[in-house]
Amino acid sequence: MTTAIRVQPGIMDIALYQGGASQIDGQADPLKLSSNENPFGASPKAAEAVADAALKLHRYPSTDHARLRQSIAEVHGLAPERIICGVGSDEILTLLAMAFAGPGDEVLYTEHGFSLYRIFALSAGATPVVAPETDRRVDVDALIAKITQATRLIYIANPANPTGTALDRVELTRLADAVPENCLLVLDGAYAEFFDGYDGGASLVTARANVVMTRTFSKLYGLGGLRVGWGYASRDIIDVLNRIRGPFNMSSVALSGAEAAVNDRRFVETCLTENAEQRARLVGGLRQLGIACDDSQANFVMARFADEDEALAADAHLKSVGILVRLVKGYGFPEALRITVGRAEDVTRVLDALANFKGAA
Ligand SMILES: *Cc1c(COP(=O)(O)O)cnc(C)c1O
């Protein structure tokens, strides 16, 4: 950068986001369990809607996303005017930081929290503040202890990535009770559907002016490539976010695909049933092999090995048999691998490979 051009403060402290790997050298079609994608793909109805939308690409998309918001509202029992749609939930999380945090403000999240939270804080020029976790779980008391007069935004993923652990309703309410009125509690519900009985925090949002929920079509709905997410908040907050979002942020293709996806409840139910079954198999199988893992409320499991060396060796072995998982050293877990729950045959392949790895060790 030439010296004459000044970058806004914080931005050069951002390290580029590292996504899950998608290729192995010399392997044509690896089993990709590195990005928590839906192993069944997207609903065929979503794919059909996308193909239909391709016939009208010359038309500008809707700016108010009314149809998609209406569909989401009906499925979740929410008010459509309190919903905002974004280019992935990433965009909603970014808009929140842009609108509500800036230089001198603090953005709080936890030790092993999603790596983008730091990026959102720094992008807004705000100061990232990290609260410790306890036994790979968000620690409500430790979070509360880090809240100051400068805290404007708290990001919590529930269930959390990469641990898969979750706060229950009682703990979440206790946290919400302790957040000052001038600070927003953002409940990132990227994996909310996989946590049986959890509403993603919707009831907390309905009851309070300073709680926001974000959701995504990238995980359960298998539409990571389409980039659709949404947020639910008070009308006042939604109004603020709508002022800064691009009027044409969502493509017509994305809007059509997501609308079809959210209305295909049968596909969703099948995926959820399958995930719960295969997740239990994966957790049980790992533990049988002597590989520790916490109970997961998401669509992935974090497998903990003896140390970093063993985790790297296990990762190399999985790669050698064409399986891609996620190293999570960047999240503070050098000894662990995050494994997306796959189809039955995928879980069998992973467990067989790890059994061979353990047997050879
Ligand atoms: C995957 C993920 C998201 C979703 O991102 P999109 O932009 O909606 O694809 C958000 N938060 C967490 C913790 C995630 O793991």
User: In angstroms, how far is CA 130 from the centroid of its own chain?
Assistant: 18
Round to whole Å and give the CA distance between 188 and 113: 11
- Here the tokens at position 298 are 């998401």
On whether both 160 and 231 belong to a single domain, the answer is yes
Q: Are 131 and 145 in contact (CB under 8 A)?
A: yes
CA of 90 to the centre of ligand 1 (A): 6
- Here the tokens at position 183 are 């600070």
On whether both 28 and 162 belong to a single domain, the answer is no
Domain that holds residue 216: 44-263
The pLDDT value recorded for residue 333 is 98
Whole-model pTM: value is: 0.96
Q: What is the mean pLDDT of residues 201-213?
A: 96
CATH number of the domain to which 316 belongs? 3.90.1150.10
Give the number of the atom of ligand 1 that is nearest the alpha carbon of residue 227: 9
Round to whole Å and give the CA distance between 264 and 235: 28
> How many CA within 13 A on the CB side of residue 61?
21
Which residues form the pocket of ligand 1, taking CB atoms under 6 Å from any ligand atom?
88-90, 114, 157, 161, 188, 190, 216, 218-219, 224, 229
Kindly report, residue by residue over 246-269, the tens digit of the pLDDT: 999 999 999 999 999 999 999 999
CA of 229 to the centre of ligand 1 (A): 9
Asked if pLDDT for residue 361 goes beyond 80, the answer is no
CATH number of the domain to which 90 belongs? 3.40.640.10
The pLDDT value recorded for residue 17 is 82
Question: What is the share, in percent, of the chain residues with pLDDT greater than 70?
Answer: 99
CA of 357 to the centre of ligand 1 (A): 31
Mutate to test the pocket of ligand 1, among 118, 163, 188 (most ligand atoms within 8 A of CB): 188
Q: What is the mean pLDDT of residues 41-50?
A: 98
Residue 2 lies in a domain: no
Kindly report, residue by residue over 97-149, the tens digit of the pLDDT: 999 999 999 999 999 999 999 999 999 999 999 999 999 999 999 999 999 99
Q: Which amino acid is at 214?
A: T
Residue 275 lies in a domain: yes
Give the number of the atom of ligand 1 that is nearest the alpha carbon of residue 113: 13
The pLDDT value recorded for residue 335 is 98
The pLDDT value recorded for residue 1 is 63
On whether both 174 and 323 belong to a single domain, the answer is no
Give the number of the atom of ligand 1 that is nearest the alpha carbon of residue 89: 8
The pLDDT value recorded for residue 145 is 98
Number of structural domains (the chain) is 2
Give the number of the atom of ligand 1 that is nearest the alpha carbon of residue 188: 11
| Mean pLDDT, rounded, of the chain | 96
Residue 1 lies in a domain: no
On whether both 101 and 151 belong to a single domain, the answer is yes
Asked if pLDDT for residue 321 goes beyond 90, the answer is yes
Q: What is the mean pLDDT of residues 325-345?
A: 97
On whether both 253 and 120 belong to a single domain, the answer is yes
Of 219, 245, 263, the residue at which a domain comes to its end is 263
Asked if pLDDT for residue 282 goes beyond 80, the answer is yes
Of 246, 263, 280, the residue at which a domain comes to its end is 263
Round to whole Å and give the CA distance between 193 and 215: 9
On whether both 69 and 204 belong to a single domain, the answer is yes
Radius of gyration of the chain (CA): 21
Asked if pLDDT for residue 25 goes beyond 90, the answer is no
Question: What is the share, in percent, of the chain residues with pLDDT greater than 90?
Answer: 91
